[in-house]
Amino acid sequence: MFIIARTKTACTWRKIHPGRTLTAARKHEIDLIASWIISDSNIDIETGRNAGCRAIWIVNSDEIGNGGADLVEHSLLDAVNQLLAPGS
């Protein structure tokens, strides 16, 4: 017989906690403050923001709001063009 103990400890590797992102940033020497997260998921945007990244939310045509992102675009191509635009 096996007994599995339940734990109430929060896992910092699950979204919206930034543990996974912070670990990868340390391992690969990534400057998160200078980094962007681009996603169509509010959870991903929040996770990136919690790690210190700036965020671009890719929205569907029927969505409103900004999901807590710094920028809102309608496609990945639009997001990339915004990041590469002079003065960005």
Domain assignment present for 53 = yes
pLDDT tens column, 51-81: 999 999 999 776 666 778 999 999 999 999 9
Domain assignment present for 4 = no
List the structure tokens of 9.
């400890």
Domain assignment present for 10 = no
Q: How many domains does the chain have?
A: 1
Domain assignment present for 67 = yes
Domain assignment present for 5 = no
| pLDDT on residue 68 | 84
| pLDDT on residue 9 | 57
Cα 49 from Cα 66, distance rounded (Å): 13
SS3 category, 50: helix
Confidence of residue 15 (pLDDT cuts 50, 70, 90): confident
Name which of 57, 52, 87, 82 is nearest 72 in CA terms.
Answer: 57
List the structure tokens of 34.
């200078």
Domain assignment present for 70 = yes
Domain assignment present for 14 = no
Q: Write out the residue range of the structural domain in which residue 61 sits.
A: 19-84
